[in-house]
Structure 1
């Protein structure tokens, strides 16, 4: 790399993993280009989703922001982790486990992405650019990336010193290096939705749901039924986030997304089934949610390798995981921070050493968290022996988020954050 210019990274994918990696690398002095196929930044679409940020992710994000207080203002605390069983006949909930020392904050995807995106220097993102291919130079000092400008059809080439695959669980870059890789279908999909009640704060639905879930605004609720479970919590700006997991045969995934918009008939059938399982207060929230959608839940067996020469995987491209431990976003942010610190430590002249250390730090953690999330989902969906009506004490312990492997672990390379 020439000493008179900055090293350059090309990041494919502009979701949370991509924008986080861009911030981490910009903070080390690298030039960064992000290729994102969508045409423009998100404008707050109601089909976004809620997510939970752990204390380490909050610290990392705060270190990237010139105004860290903005993160506090766009999230709300989750101080309680509660698992409860739903009696579908009597339509009542009974607490199984309750941890009042939970230390997360809840965010809406669009709010978090906008906060991170606005912290970047201008012109880092190339919107409406579809990644096509990459080629590593013989001396491994550079990588050439071809992309299509979707608006014009023009093919462009960008040359950088590092290619970062942040292109999600269906990563085409990963597929090039692991051609036989296949995602593993979990056995269930998830109905998701966010109810905006800002204009109906005193409605019967909101009054009733606050009575049924008295710790809304600070609690992460997991409701367990027979062979199913749901997740429920509040978001900033008077929104309620809900997820309902339903055992189903594997669907046929179309295109490059595991998210699907649904028809009105599908929504009506979902609501009819929800009435059989959940308490009416939760069902009413589902009924009043605009544009609920489906996520097909996949993960993968842990990878043995997450970099090749000067190409590296981050986020769901590196470790597709089911969402039951709230790890996908947190793992992506941690990937970005560790990658940035490794590159800062070794310098751009020793990029391979930096990527080797990144891999050595992240692989053991992601392996255990992916497999733990898989087991937790199977337990809650009745795919492992578990009776929520009469669980063993050790089963209840396993349900708690604080028992995730490496739950409070901070890599030493991040001690300065």
Structure 2
């Protein structure tokens, strides 16, 4: 920063991976950052997500924020293969639909990735147990005042900054203040999720069976298609297997501000019974032996027309709620943060409007196409109809139809913005 120029200050609302990534990128751009997070402490588990896949660009960006870049490699497993299988539940047979052996992702556990990113930040910038209440702009719209409730004391405090970064997730209240009629779009399905820790029973029947059925576990992202349903399966570091099972379901009634549903023992029992009918016995057994499975209700949203208003900017799921089918949510959040940081560094505080306009220009078209493609992938894999084609049937699918399932078909799959010079 040039001598005599004031340092910009950003208030980031939401301390999940999108918010923490923004903190890294904005500090790198020479800004002062405060992150407001309503939870009370560093998460040790992942209530709303377990495993995730990191693409090459996201990994390079994250590594640039870490004091020891190899820490990311050490805490993830390779996903060098991407395979789609199918099952005929009646005939009890499975077969390969398509396989990509040049897949270059890595599998991370949400809490492990979060801890890496958090520990690489100055610890004082994250304000835990601070619940966002409201914000207001100064008369000349050059400053923003954020009110937050300190949950440990009940006090309300105000923080003044130059920029408000809304990283408050798909149910963003900041976005709602600009788009009061905005609504999430229910995808038509919910996802059972779970992580099986097999570190103490590597030679159990269940693990031997699942590794025989999915021989490339440890380096392969498997998608398994059944009749109007599909699942994902891959291994995480430290002998853990992450699985997701999508089920077509009427939209459930959510309570609170989370898209994660609490489940009862009865719900889990019925899910186990259904798994026995739908999946090969090895996968059904894996599901049955997983402790504390949970349900994510799957939403996305039609692409927004803009991502910034004055000195307020949306990032992550607040900017582009998406279904998980394209493995884009975390990757898009990391890229949002990096692009925002580079734009602020390029234009400087005195040209904040131009910086935010360039961020929007770079990220909006890419994120919009990826959200819509992920939506399409979800409908194809669930056997749901599309306007331009019949419902996908694994039993009769052509080679071209199977190739459409591959993640490398996602728009801008391997593109990096020139702004990042990576």
Band the TM-score falls in, shorter-chain normalisation: over 0.9
TM alignment of 1:293-304, pairs within 5 A = 293-304=294-305
TM alignment of 1:305-320, pairs within 5 A = 305-320=306-321
Change (3 A) 1:62 1:205: same
Please report the TM-score for the alignment, with normalisation by the length of structure 1.
Answer: 0.98
Change (3 A) 1:46 1:36: closer
Q: What residue in structure 2 maps to residue 387 of structure 1?
A: 393
Q: What residue in structure 1 maps to residue 42 of structure 2?
A: 41
Tell me the distance in 2 between the aligned counterparts of 1:84 and 1:390: 13
Matched, 1:88 2:89: yes
Q: What residue in structure 1 maps to residue 71 of structure 2?
A: 70
Tell me the distance in 1 between the aligned counterparts of 2:351 and 2:127: 28
Q: What residue in structure 1 maps to residue 412 of structure 2?
A: 406
CA RMSD in angstroms comes to 1.3
Would you say the 8 A contact 2:343–2:356 is kept in 1?
Answer: yes
Tell me the distance in 1 between the aligned counterparts of 2:340 and 2:64: 15
Matched residue of 1:253: which SS? coil
The 10-residue stretch of structure 1 (294-303 or 38-47) with the greater mean CA deviation from structure 2:
38-47
How far off its partner does 1:3 sit?
4.4
Number of residue pairs the alignment of both structures matches: 416
How far off its partner does 1:408 sit?
0.5
Matched, 1:121 2:122: yes
Matched residue of 1:123: which SS? helix
Deviations 1:152-197 (A, max 9, x none): 1100100000000000000000000001000000000000000011
Matched residue of 2:114: which SS? helix
Q: What residue in structure 2 maps to residue 338 of structure 1?
A: 339
Which 5+ residue runs of structure 1 have no aligned equivalent? none
Q: What residue in structure 2 maps to residue 56 of structure 1?
A: 57
Would you say the 8 A contact 2:76–2:236 is kept in 1?
Answer: yes
Matched residue of 2:124: which SS? coil
Tell me the distance in 2 between the aligned counterparts of 1:217 and 1:146: 46
The 10-residue stretch of structure 1 (169-178 or 119-128) with the greater mean CA deviation from structure 2:
119-128
Tell me the distance in 1 between the aligned counterparts of 2:297 and 2:364: 25
Deviations 1:62-121 (A, max 9, x none): 111110110001000000010111121233320000000000000000000000000101
Change (3 A) 1:344 1:4: closer
Would you say the 8 A contact 1:17–1:332 is kept in 2?
Answer: yes
Would you say the 8 A contact 1:44–1:110 is kept in 2?
Answer: yes
Q: What residue in structure 2 maps to residue 201 of structure 1?
A: 202
